[in-house]
């Protein structure tokens, strides 16, 4: 066989196997079989996606990313985008890939957008419903996903931090008058990770049953550095475990550090891995 042909065949099989591996470890799961309650007629409207954003989400879903060596942990990731867009790749998929690298099963939420033009959705109703349903699906299928139902966290970037706040502070959050077994599952995360979170839905008082928190932002972020300070003070007062990292500069939307200009922000995900290890989240 000629060297050139041999090289092309090897390249083809590498690409084929790589694509197969990616598809096997990435699965999209719609939150409701027949579409979002009350909006079933919009189920089949196609999403719009370009460059960094996804829009026109009417059939909310989670995309599951499975690690090669799962440690039993899972995290629901809520990307930001100001509730007008969804920053799916850099605040969703990139986070999932990193979490997979340390053994964590990740689920990226595509929630409905409440601030797009003529949106029929409301944050405290429909977006909250999406986040709750996502957590319930993950927890109710824990055995199938090979995860521990008591080690499921929620991670939010910017507006996604507001989505996490909608489910984090309401303990034992189950729907009682329902025939859907999924909705009888608790939707509160066991821990939360907030990266430059938006200011909405932070409770005035943190209760003792709030999930432990990892908080991170840049001090020069005029939008979203103050919320983590407010949360820190609330957590300390309630004596609930919390860790905060406030970097001197970096602005907003540095994502998983790929866009960061400072060395400290480029390596911030390692601080999260340290937090997991120091607090025994990796222990089965």
Q: Which of 157, 158, 175, 238 is nearest to 203 (CA)?
A: 238
Which tens digit of pLDDT belongs to each residue from 52-109?
999 999 999 999 999 999 999 999 999 999 999 999 999 999 999 999 999 999 999 9
Beta bridge partner(s), residue 152: 74
pLDDT confidence bin for 195, thresholds 50/70/90: very high
Which tens digit of pLDDT belongs to each residue from 110-146?
999 999 999 999 999 999 999 999 999 999 999 999 9
- pTM metric for this prediction: 0.90
Distance CA 45, CA 226 (A): 38
Which tens digit of pLDDT belongs to each residue from 197-241?
999 999 999 999 999 999 999 999 999 999 999 999 999 999 999
- What does the DSSP 8-state code read for residue 181? G
Going 133 to 139 to 144 to 147, the CA torsion angle's sign is positive
Contact by Cβ (8 Å): 133, 163: no
pLDDT at 22: 39
Going 36 to 114 to 151 to 174, the CA torsion angle's sign is negative
Contact by Cβ (8 Å): 155, 195: yes
pLDDT of residue 23 exceeding 50: no
* E strands present in 126-255: 152-157, 191-195, 213-218, 242-247
Q: Tell me the chain's radius of gyration from C-alpha atoms.
A: 19
Distance CA 149, CA 62 (A): 17
């Amino acid at each position: 066989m000629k060297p050139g042909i041999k090289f092309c065949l090897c390249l083809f099989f590498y690409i084929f196997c790589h694509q197969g591996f990616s598809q096997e470890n990435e699965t999209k799961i719609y939150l409701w079989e027949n579409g979002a309650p009350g909006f079933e007629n919009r189920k089949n409207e196609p999403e719009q996606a370009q460059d960094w954003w996804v829009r026109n989400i009417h059939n909310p879903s989670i995309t599951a990313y499975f690690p090669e060596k799962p440690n039993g942990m899972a995290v629901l990731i809520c990307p930001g985008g100001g509730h007008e867009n969804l920053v799916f790749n850099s605040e969703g998929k990139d986070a999932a890939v990193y979490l997979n690298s340390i053994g964590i099963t990740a689920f990226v939420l595509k929630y409905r957008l409440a601030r797009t033009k003529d949106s029929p959705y409301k944050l405290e109703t429909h977006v909250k419903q999406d986040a709750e349903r996502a957590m319930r699906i993950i927890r109710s299928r824990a055995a199938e996903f090979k995860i521990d139902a008591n080690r499921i966290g929620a991670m939010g970037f910017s507006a996604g931090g507001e989505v996490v706040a909608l489910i984090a502070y309401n303990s034992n959050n189950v729907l009682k008058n329902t025939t859907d077994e999924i909705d009888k599952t608790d939707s509160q995360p066991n821990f939360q990770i907030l990266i430059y979170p938006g200011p909405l839905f932070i409770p005035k008082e943190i209760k003792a049953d709030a999930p432990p928190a990892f908080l991170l932002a840049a001090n020069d972020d005029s939008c979203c550095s103050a919320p983590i300070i407010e949360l820190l003070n609330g957590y300390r007062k309630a004596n609930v475990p919390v860790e905060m990292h406030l970097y001197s500069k970096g602005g907003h939307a540095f994502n998983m550090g790929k866009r960061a200009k400072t060395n400290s922000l480029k390596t911030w995900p390692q601080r999260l891995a340290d937090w997991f290890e120091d607090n025994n989240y990796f222990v089965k």
